Amino acid sequence: MRLKPGRPDLATFASRHDVPVAGEGRLAVTFLGVSTLLVQDGDSAVMTDGFFSRPGLLQVGLGKVAPHLGRIDAALDRALGDAGLDGLDAVMPVHSHYDHALDAAVVAERTGALLIGGESTANVGVGGGLAPDRIRVVASGDTVECGAFSLTFVASSHCPPDRYPGTIDAPVTPPAKVGAYRCGEAWSILLTHRSGRTALLQGSAGYVPGSLAGRDAEVAYLGVGQLGVQPLEYLEAYWEHTVRAVGARRVVLIHWDDFFRPLDRPLHALPYAGDDLDITMSVLGRLADEDGVALHLPRLWQREDPWAGLYA
């Protein structure tokens, strides 16, 4: 436990909440807290994680967690309704910790989506009652076609420390202790839309050196949870093996919000006890300036177009 009290003030970074708003009918990305992103074009739609229950700290620390159906339905109604969507083509947890995969089976069932991930995510799906034909297990390098999207999964790593390492080797049936949701297979997800637009979806601030070499992505959604308490060399290496590796021209930071707070309350940054967004913004801001890369924070619920302005 770090001794520094309090948490970063998000107002300090207000100018970074400036990803261009998506026009009507345009390809858009909506940030829904932690590493949950809805990517859609008004017809096809895919979602990372789908984590909406956001149980409180006391429940996480002392009890068991389970999907909160009311919160899930409210979030899906708002996010999909704003986009004019009836469902999803795919839900893909970036790894299988509870703050990513807890709600995945329910979201897939509610939306008609295919649940995509490694064996650990599959066991979360089975434990959540999802039919086997609604689960797709992938290995590193596999590409899955989902509507207008092509999704390539590349093995990645969790940011240290991984408090629940290892794989999930049997179905997890909620309610369950958070420790049952082991990390499992972590992913860098490369998304290509039929329009040619590309993005790297990097939900956790971990990396595998060289894993993304030769890959291209115009935009990178970069998880930064726990990044601010890493050595400077780690932050620089993370940027090198993600943003620079794919040649991204715009970076949008995710997984910085306090996920013990429900989505109907204003977002707060994670406390200094577990992270330091001030340091993350300072270091990544410097690296972005050096590389001529636009650096942003997303706005909750807002349909944004991270590709806007990247082309003459």
What are the pLDDT digits (tens) for 37-55? 999 999 999 999 999 999 9
The C-alpha atoms of residue 224 and residue 231 are separated, in whole angstroms, by 13
- Asked if residue 1 has pLDDT above 50, the reply is no
Mean pLDDT taken over the chain: 97
Is the peptide bond preceding residue 174 cis, with omega within 30 degrees of 0?
no
Q: Tell me how far the alpha carbon of residue 267 is from its chain's centroid.
A: 16
Per DSSP, the three-state class of 233 is helix
Instruction: Give the model's confidence band at 231: pLDDT under 50 very low, under 70 low, under 90 confident, else very high.
Output: very high
Instruction: Give the model's confidence band at 229: pLDDT under 50 very low, under 70 low, under 90 confident, else very high.
Output: very high
The C-alpha atoms of residue 104 and residue 81 are separated, in whole angstroms, by 19
Handedness of CA 62, 67, 70, 76 (dihedral sign): positive
Q: Tell me how far the alpha carbon of residue 235 is from its chain's centroid.
A: 18
CB neighbours of residue 236 within 10 Å:
15
Altogether, the residues listed in the chain come to a count of 312
Instruction: Give the model's confidence band at 312: pLDDT under 50 very low, under 70 low, under 90 confident, else very high.
Output: low
Q: What is the value of pTM for the model shown?
A: 0.97
Give the pLDDT confidence score for residue 48 in this predicted structure. 98
The C-alpha atoms of residue 271 and residue 277 are separated, in whole angstroms, by 9
The C-alpha atoms of residue 259 and residue 104 are separated, in whole angstroms, by 16
